[in-house]
Amino acid sequence: MTFRKLVLFTVITLVISAGCSTTKNTRVNRSYHNLNAHFNAYFNGKEAFKAGTKKVESANKDNFERILPVVLYSDPNNVSSAFPDMEKAISKASKVIKFHSITAKPKRKKGKLSKRQKEFQAKPEYNKWVDNAYLLMGKSHFYKHDFFQASQNFQYIISVYSKEIISYEATLWLIRTYNEEGKFSDSESLLDQLEGDRKFPKKFNGELNAIYADFHLKQRHYEEAIPRLRKAIDLKGNRKDKIRYRFILAQIYQKYKEYNKASVLYAEVIKMNPPYEMAFNAKINRAEAYSSGSGDVREIKKQLLKMLKDDKNIDYHDQIYFSLANIEQKEGNLKQAIEYYFLSARSSISNTNQQAISYLALADIYFSIPDYPKAQQFYDSTMTFLSSDYPEYEKISEKTKHLNELIENLNIAHLEDSVQKLSKLPSKELDKIIDELIAKVIEQEEKEKELREQQQMDNLLLQQNKVNSFSNQNNNAGGKWYFYNPMTVSNGMADFKRKWGNRKLEDNWRRKNKAIVMSEELANIDSVTGTNNKGNSKSNPKSREYYLQNIPFSDSAFIASNEKLYMAMFNVGRVYKDKLNDYPEAIKSFEKLIAKNDKTDYTITTYYYLYQLNMLENKKDRAAFYKNLLITKFPESQYTKMLTNPNFLEEQEAEKKKVNVFYEQTYVAYLQGNYRKVADNCKIADSLYSNHDLIPKFAFLKALTVGKVTDVSTFKLALKKVTTDFPDTPEKTAASEMLTYLENLKLDSLQNHLASLQFNKENTDSNRVVFEEFVDTSKTNIEIDPTLSQAERLLLEAEKIYKFSQSEQHYYVSIVDNKNLDVNRLRFNISSFNIEVFSFIDFDVSQPIILDGDVQMLTVKSFKDKTEAMAYFRHISVNPIAYGELKTNQYRHFVISATNYPLFYKDKNVEKYITFFTKNYLGE
């Protein structure tokens, strides 16, 4: 190498070295890092972000039955596909910040500085792409729905770059973040601030109004969104956005019955050549808006029927029929409307949203008639397809439950009434009716068999045609595999949906009724166990015994049937009265019950309900009639006392309070160890308040007292009595759990201990403590010396669970109470600590995991062994980045082996593991 080349090489090396440094702030350094940041990491990150946003747009599936959202990123289903791209964008933006940020001040020139030079010296950052990198990182976190990290980035930009235009852009994104989190008061504050800022860049005005519109629509303040959408349409340059905002604005006008304005906007959408689905829905909605206004309804119907004939609209027949049904319903043609709603529901192949609202329209019609059995069927079908985020989902679900309860009880009443009538028929006449039913079953089986055979033939022909078609397509496509030919795949999917509809990918997907599969499985079990139901005539619907078994021929069977009948008839009336608010039907149902039998367990309540209902219906004579029946027939009933004594409820409430106070006194006596008083009070309660709701509590308190003063066997008998006497109560559950604990105890040890206790009033507190300690430890079947300290007890228990190993993989764990501090903020701080102190190690900081109630857990993974984990533990303990703002009693942290980690999560006792950690990790 010549001397000249050596010098040149040395100069180039020095220049590059100088350029790579971020600690010096020179023109060369800035140029190098600006160039590298822009055209390397930032460019790649921005491209990844663009690719991710395109995936979000592609994944979007609008539900045109509702007002469309302004933005596409709110739906988690849309953004999930973009996660890898957003992760890449975050990684690239981080590299810009980490390797190209220049915060060192440039050398100051001699003499007085100009205003421009002073501003340059005061800059927080000298690489002009770092602020863009922070914004890109925030936007990427936003699209991942990691709103905490996103807001941290945006707030940092607003704080550090407050004099730059980018701070306005960051503020707009921060408002978007608050909108997604539902922090609308924070959004509103920032929106007002931006509107009042005279320096706000005009180029962002369209974006500001779009965000304002989103702010209103998310809160369903539709009218307030109208002027914002209009401004966004005028100010935004993006054609796709303009189309979308027009469509949303038209939907809002249609909702508020401003049909002319809606129709004009839908026409504008159609002219702008939107995607086909939006264009189609614009035409449908325009037709409905036009028909609701002053348009020619016959012309609109003609256009819709013409759309049915267009092959492009095959997948949209359900929506066309729905629009036709709406028009007919508005015109009062209910019969034709029902027919179109039926066609809409039946022609829905993949649009379950449309299918749901078509069934809902039918259900609402039949409910309003009212025809409750048909309404129940259609509400039931609605709930099968209705999305849980539908605006009135809970209300519809509740109505469906009420109707299901009504129909269930109507069916029971009808069945019991029918079988009772059959039981009174002569045997020959009964046999004749049963034989007719059997003949219908056989006829139905024959029809189903013929249908299956026909379907098999049709399927064979279809498969043959497909094979021929497939062969031709393969020839035309140059021998490509089936799934490489999109036309073939598309046809196959269409055929599948026409035949099967929407089916989940699961076992037995062909079965519409999974109960059939269960029946087949039961049949297989019978064949293995040697039992065979075919020989059992009672399970064969083609035998007389199958029908005779449910007919009440004996007196006892007839009494049982009557009990079912009366309960069902009463429940029918109660559902009409309390859940459907159909008072006339409720009156009819209760009067039928009284006419059937006025001496049932429901008679008193039925009379009172009839009194109430007739008063509500302003039938005072009938109300007085039922009131007199109550007074004359049931003078001592609660309802009679309510009707005759105006102070009855107040007196009853006073008595209830009296019993509550008495129980509280008894409980206090138990806590004080005055067991004699507890026993006496429980006897008084049994005598005076035997029907009161608090009696189970008195009984349980009595059982606990028995456990304090007697042996284990007597204590167990007392607990068993509670479980027997008071089923379906919390006290029964508590007594059962305590019995389980006692069974798990080492009985000899407990027996000896309790036998040594004497009932001594001066020592009752200590007796109670020792006994409860034994009950507590029984949960883990550990016998522990009561003389040990709490810490010693915990360590013994911990060593039964955890095993120490210093060579295996370890994790760092932080435990906090989310009520006292923001666990997401702590996660951010720990991540910042990792970047600052261990910048070249890619630690994984988990999302917060609920440990118990408000107590949450963060985990940092992973360390090769105990030594690495403890090094991390000591660093984070003294570094202020993670816990600098917290007091030591606000968090607990430790390291734990991979084997012990799931055991700790199962046990959930932090103090117990801390004793193990202190001994094995800190006790060196």
CA-nearest of 863, 870, 860 to 920 is 870
Return phi, psi of residue 803, to 5°: -120, 135
At 776 the pLDDT is 36
Locus of tokens 């036998």 = 755
CA-nearest of 422, 448, 420, 450 to 436 is 422
Q: What is the CA radius of gyration of the chain?
A: 39
Helix (H, G, I), strand (E, B) or coil at 761: helix
At 758 the pLDDT is 35
At 707 the pLDDT is 85
Per the structure block, which two tokens stand in for 773? 């300690």
Helix (H, G, I), strand (E, B) or coil at 105: coil
Give the separation between CA 430 and CA 433, rounded to whole angstroms.
Answer: 5
Helix (H, G, I), strand (E, B) or coil at 812: strand
Locus of tokens 């690719």 = 51
Decide: 923 and 897 in contact? Cβ < 8 Å: no
Decide: 900 and 820 in contact? Cβ < 8 Å: no
What is the DSSP-derived secondary structure letter of residue 922? I
As a residue count, the chain comes to 924
450-476 burial, b if ≥16 CB within 10 A, otherwise e? eeeeeeeeeeeeeeeeeeeebeebbee
At 479 the pLDDT is 46
At 2 the pLDDT is 59
At 187 the pLDDT is 93
Locus of tokens 């009819």 = 588
- pTM over the 0.75 mark: no
Decide: 228 and 209 in contact? Cβ < 8 Å: yes
Give the separation between CA 607 and CA 598, rounded to whole angstroms.
Answer: 9
CA-nearest of 676, 674, 670, 716 to 697 is 670
Locus of tokens 């919390």 = 730
Helix (H, G, I), strand (E, B) or coil at 451: helix
CA-nearest of 697, 639, 704 to 670 is 704
Decide: 147 and 74 in contact? Cβ < 8 Å: no
At 458 the pLDDT is 67
Looking at the DSSP assignment, which residues form a beta bridge with residue 142?
none
480-490 burial, b if ≥16 CB within 10 A, otherwise e? eeeeebeebee
Q: For the chain (length 924 residues), average pLDDT per consecutive 10? A: 53 50 68 75 89 89 88 83 90 84 71 68 76 91 90 90 90 94 93 91 93 94 94 87 94 91 91 91 83 67 87 88 90 92 88 91 94 95 90 92 95 92 90 89 88 74 59 50 48 54 52 40 35 60 84 89 94 95 95 94 93 94 94 89 80 76 88 87 83 87 86 85 88 86 57 40 35 33 49 82 91 86 84 76 83 87 89 84 79 92 88 89 73
Looking at the DSSP assignment, which residues form a beta bridge with residue 813?
859, 894
Q: Which amino acid is at 629?
A: L
Locus of tokens 């064969």 = 540
CB atoms within 10 A of CB 246: 23
- List CB contacts of 636: < 8 A, sequence separation 6 or more: none
Helix (H, G, I), strand (E, B) or coil at 292: helix
At 331 the pLDDT is 86
